[in-house]
Amino acid sequence: MFNFSLKVYYEDTDSGGVVYYANYLKFTERARTNMIQDLGFTLNQLHDDYDCLFIVKKVNCEYLQSAKLEDILEVHSKIIQVKNASFELEQNIYRNNKIIFQSNIIMVCVNTKGKPKKIPENIALLLR
């Protein structure tokens, strides 16, 4: 399980004063980037040293409650399954230990030309 905390800023909200719906996906993206860094890699290193990029193939999400300006949110990321060229993870967002957004995301490993490729073994081991 990987955790990432963030604060909701004015730029994250819509005219109704709540977090704009698409920004929850930005929050999960930030958490995934930090998860990769916690595993010991940077996105630039994956690109340059492994000819590997992780792209979103599928997102299934549900909005349970709205976050508001200055809320402190926690994104919990849990890897569910690792396959040859993809991995699936559950990413949920919490406010005050209560889930407000849940998602299931499938990430695919591609080379820098956009073609699917096997996840490098040392990275796959860390994802497992």
pLDDT attached to residue 105: 98
What is d(CA 48, CA 101) in angstroms, rounded to the nearest whole number?
Answer: 34
Please, is 81 exposed, middle or buried when counting C-beta atoms within 10 Å of its C-beta (0-12, 13-18, 19+)?
Answer: exposed
Angle between helices 23-38 and 43-50 (to 10 degrees): 60
Mean pLDDT of 18-47: 94
Mean pLDDT of 114-119: 95
Domain count, the chain: 1
Q: Percent of the chain having pLDDT more than 90?
A: 89
| Owning domain of residue 15 | 2-127
48's CB contacts (< 8 A; 6+ apart) are: none
Residue 13: pLDDT band with limits 50, 70, 90: very high
CATH number of the structural domain spanning residue 56: 3.10.129.10
Q: How many CB atoms lie within 10 A of CB 84?
A: 11
Mean pLDDT of 60-69: 98
To the nearest whole number, what is the mean pLDDT of the chain? Answer: 96
Q: Percent of the chain having pLDDT more than 70?
A: 100
pLDDT attached to residue 48: 92
Mean pLDDT of 25-52: 93
Residues noted as catalytic:
14
Mean pLDDT of 104-115: 95
